[in-house]
Structure 1
Amino acid sequence: MPTIRSAEVAEPGGPFRIVERELPEPGPGQVRIAVEACGVCRTDAAFVGAAFPEVPFPLVPGHEIAGRIDAVGAGVQQWTVGTRVAVGWFGGNCGICRSCREGDFIHCERIQVPGWAYPGGYSEAVVVPATAPARIPDAISAVEAAPMGCAGVATFTALRGSRARAGDLVAVLGLGGLGHLAVQFAVKLGFETVVVARGADRAEAATRLGAHHYVDSTAGDVAARLQELGGARVVLATAGDSAAMSATVDGLRPGGELVVVGADPEPIRVSPFQLIATSRSVHGHPSGTAREVEETLEFAALTGIRPITQTRPLAEAGAAYDRMLAGEARYRVVLTP
């Protein structure tokens, strides 16, 4: 029987180990993907730490998957062997809950996230629902495509669906794995782009990515600086820092919005007085559906947007994960089985 290698965690918070298991076969309505790349996302830490309910152990994380379909299950007509695909946070939906019946698949009550609903992409092969994959354009490599299934689609769809229009001032809070993609998308979507990050040393990186302005959050009042630039139509919060998010609210112009994609368990502190007279708003944004991942990849191929990655072999999954947690990786770590 053919086998595959996977990087798994046996218990909550435990170390990674490389294990061999039988090559899984796709069932009806499923496809198998030979994994060529899998991003290491900070949300993986929530799974490893059992912060989400009913996380199964032993656990194979990984929800930023790219590879090729190498087997299809019964009843699957839309996919053929050899097709290059990516699977992100959206790893399938139930099709019967209220959100699904309304066509709002990303808010499915039983959304199937790889590494949670089924073994994820820290592996040489994964079996996923046939609704999960997104086609990868020829111009995008597997290593480049993998982070687009989570970090890429989250930032692109958040900006594209926001109130901002070409020429508006848009601020990206944070310049990490999410932020460096958000800056590129904001510039290519035609926004006057501001990066807000900690320290003067990030200014050069922000400029390289195309930003028009840089605000050092340690050097003064962030909101006042944004207002000096005209007030932000949108602040896209990619950094997981609720205090930093709160500090941007008064930098929004009337009708502006703080869009949150970075996760932090601490509350965002906003007074009703900051919102009522100015019609400002604060709201969250999830990832994106398989079709939205395709649209993200297509836009990236068209405009030259690429994630900045560091690759590590699957055998070094534990070290790659630790590097991500320590903030030592700029900007995305990608495993290459």
Structure 2
Amino acid sequence: MSTKTGYATAEFVTDTMAAWEVAEPGPIESEPLRPVRRPVPEPGPDELLIRVLACGVCRTDLHVSEGDLPVRRPRVVPGHEVVGEVVGTGRDAQGAPVGSLVGVAWLRHTCGRCRFCLRGEENLCPRSRYTGWDADGGYAEYTTAPAAYAYRLPAGADPRGTAPLLCAGIIGYRALERARLPEGGRLGVYGFGGSAHLAAQVALARGARLHVLTRDEAARRLALELGASSARGAYDQPPEKLDSAILFAPVGELVPVALSALDRGGVLSVAGIHLSDVPPLNYQEHLFQERELRSVTSNTRADGRAFLEEADRAGVSVTVTAYPLGQAQQALKDLKAGRFAGAAVLVPGAD
């Protein structure tokens, strides 16, 4: 163990690392990401230095890269589904010593003092900050994270299979909670990528009857393999009225489609951070009879802990397509084009 300015670090940590940065946001086809070498970051007093073992590829990374989300940090390193080994600790960092395995998720900081934080809704904190948007994330060989926002993971956890749980899984879990699915209820899922196929498994383990509606044929096959009662096109009607629905596809045109599929008192939860414009709604057709439309904003750390525990109990499995870190831009292109089912994961050192 050696000591650098204000923090302890493992001997093998190098001075520079490979990473990807968003050079100029734009369509992923224009290749807005740029491969770079950067100094290995130094953790702050309350932060961990983490050697990245796997980083999930999330649709939010695509929104950051393409400029759907406003630039918060120029030339940011994307990535917020990180599993890694702690190789350095700031002087005040607690709970994850060097050598431990941790997960880094989207939520990176909240103030802890506003009315939202004080009532347990830190996901709504006006001063919240996010990994891979406000601060550099996991499309790199090393990253940092506040120790208080990292999840301690079992030593034997599989990095590739765990990484997508840290955003896709957590956000899908919060979306499922917001959808207020009754016990044994009928759930519709619109879009069936990384987040949806994890939330679906939790719902099925709770006894739900699942109907998946997505344009992708491979995703429909995966849904049926996981236990869905039906899998149809995104604009089709499910075979029965729904108690709850979750919209994972960032397509505003699907909001009235999903609302019209709800039974009386049904709830539609919109899981994405970005959504294309929603067409006009007809009150009688889409909202009357106490149908509800609810958004989802980030997550709390309590959501993360609850999901990881439930996912372990339910035996949630992740369908993973692995890419070397050097193919990060291609992974985002494939995500946008729907070329894989489930989730993609970047693996440093696999080039």
Per the TM superposition, whether the score is higher than 0.5 is yes
1:100-137 Cα deviation digits (max 9, x unpaired) = 23331111212221111111110111111222211224
> Does structure 2 retain, via aligned residues, the 8 Å contact 1:137–1:298?
no
Query: What secondary structure sits across from 1:334 in the alignment?
Result: strand
Letter of the structure 2 residue corresponding to residue 82 of structure 1: G
Deviation of the 1:164 alpha carbon: 1.6
> Does structure 1 retain, via aligned residues, the 8 Å contact 2:96–2:102?
no
Q: Which of residues 244, 247, 253 is equivalent to 1:243?
A: 253
Deviation of the 1:277 alpha carbon: 4.1
- Residue number in structure 1 paired with 2:61: 44
> Does structure 2 retain, via aligned residues, the 8 Å contact 1:177–1:330?
yes
Range with greater deviation from structure 2 (199-208 or 279-288): 199-208
Mapped to 2, the partners of 1:186 and 1:141 lie a distance apart of: 23
1:46-99 Cα deviation digits (max 9, x unpaired) = 212333334322221111111122222122222222221111211222223332
Q: Answer yes or no: is 1:284 the counterpart of 2:295.
A: yes
- Residue number in structure 2 paired with 1:62: 79
Deviation of the 1:161 alpha carbon: 4.4
Query: What secondary structure sits across from 1:91 in the alignment?
Result: strand
Query: What secondary structure sits across from 1:82 in the alignment?
Result: coil
Distance change in 2, residues 1:240/1:50 (3 Å): closer
Q: Which of residues 267, 272, 278 is equivalent to 2:283?
A: 272
- Residue number in structure 2 paired with 1:99: 116
1:157-178 Cα deviation digits (max 9, x unpaired) = 2223432222111111122222
- Residue number in structure 2 paired with 1:332: 343
Task: Give the gaps of 5 or more residues in structure 1.
Answer: none
1:274-303 Cα deviation digits (max 9, x unpaired) = 366411100111232233223222222222
Q: Which of residues 306, 315, 336 is equivalent to 1:304?
A: 315
Q: Answer yes or no: is 1:232 the counterpart of 2:242.
A: yes
Q: TM-score scaled by structure 1? A: 0.90
| Aligned-pair identity (%) | 32
Distance change in 2, residues 1:200/1:20 (3 Å): closer
- Please give the root-mean-square deviation of Cα atoms over the aligned residues, in Å: 2.2
Q: Answer yes or no: is 1:159 the counterpart of 2:176.
A: yes
Mapped to 2, the partners of 1:259 and 1:70 lie a distance apart of: 39
Task: Give the gaps of 5 or more residues in structure 2.
Answer: 1-13
Q: Answer yes or no: is 1:319 the counterpart of 2:330.
A: yes
Distance change in 2, residues 1:268/1:134 (3 Å): farther
Distance change in 2, residues 1:170/1:124 (3 Å): same
Deviation of the 1:17 alpha carbon: 2.9
Q: TM-score scaled by structure 2? A: 0.86
Deviation of the 1:203 alpha carbon: 4.3
Mapped to 2, the partners of 1:174 and 1:36 lie a distance apart of: 28
Distance change in 2, residues 1:273/1:112 (3 Å): same
Distance change in 2, residues 1:197/1:324 (3 Å): closer
Q: Runs (4+) of structure 1 moved beyond 6 Å?
A: none
Query: What secondary structure sits across from 2:148 in the alignment?
Result: coil
> Does structure 2 retain, via aligned residues, the 8 Å contact 1:173–1:245?
no
Query: What secondary structure sits across from 1:248 in the alignment?
Result: helix
Mapped to 1, the partners of 2:198 and 2:333 lie a distance apart of: 22
Q: Answer yes or no: is 1:181 the counterpart of 2:198.
A: yes
Q: Answer yes or no: is 1:83 the counterpart of 2:96.
A: no
- Residue number in structure 2 paired with 1:256: 266
> Does structure 2 retain, via aligned residues, the 8 Å contact 1:155–1:182?
yes
Distance change in 2, residues 1:330/1:27 (3 Å): same
Letter of the structure 1 residue corresponding to residue 169 of structure 2: G
Distance change in 2, residues 1:217/1:312 (3 Å): closer
Mapped to 2, the partners of 1:185 and 1:161 lie a distance apart of: 14
Residues 123-138 of structure 1 correspond to what in structure 2 (within 5 A)? 123-137=140-154
- Residue number in structure 2 paired with 1:72: 89
Q: Answer yes or no: is 1:149 the counterpart of 2:148.
A: no
